[in-house]
Amino acid sequence: PEWAGPGAGPWAAGAALLRKHGRTCWQFTRPKHSLPEWATVDPDAMGPTSPAIGRNLVGGKWTDAQKTMDVIDPLNGEVMATIPDTSADEAGPFIQRMSSCPRSGLHNPLKSPERYSLLGAACAKGAEEMRKPEVQYFFARLIQR
């Protein structure tokens, strides 16, 4: 149609009609899903009042660093996440864990086939989880943030 604009595709008529009434396609095509039960952050709510909190993982345990730094949201200039600012003085536990790991690694399929199979099963579960619309939406929004 003429009011959709010159060279507009078949979708443009609907988009122009929505704009005419003060709506966008985004409001209708991207409903907010509920968060997955395992999610520890809400990408739609991340901001200065509810920032995402990053932590270090060492030896199978989550730890905090002595100092943190803020990640600024490029869209509005506000803090959206706080992440560890781990110093060289705090590297001891990481170095200790790396030195205790065998040179061939912990997941070598030749030395530990059962561990390799366990990782394969974990990947399969992750792929199955990604088929859920709320999980797809969660990761899409998380990447956009």
Dist CA 48 CA 140 (whole Å): 21
Dist CA 59 CA 19 (whole Å): 53
How many domains, in total, are found in the chain?
2
Dist CA 41 CA 142 (whole Å): 9
- 61 and 106: one domain? yes
Q: What pLDDT sits at residue 104?
A: 86
Question: What is the span of the domain harbouring residue 19?
Answer: 1-30
**Where is 57: in which H helix or E strand?**
strand 56-58
Are 132 and 33 within 8 A, CB to CB?
no
Q: What is the pLDDT of residues 31-60, one digit of tens each?
A: 556 888 888 888 888 888 989 999 999 989
- 113 and 132: one domain? yes
Are 79 and 47 within 8 A, CB to CB?
yes
Q: What is the pLDDT of residues 51-103, one digit of tens each?
A: 999 999 998 999 999 999 999 988 889 999 999 999 999 999 999 999 998 88
- 57 and 113: one domain? yes
Strand partners, 83: 69
Mean pLDDT of 19-41: 65
- 88 and 113: one domain? yes
Q: State if pTM tops 0.75.
A: no
- 20 and 91: one domain? no
Q: What pLDDT sits at residue 26?
A: 47
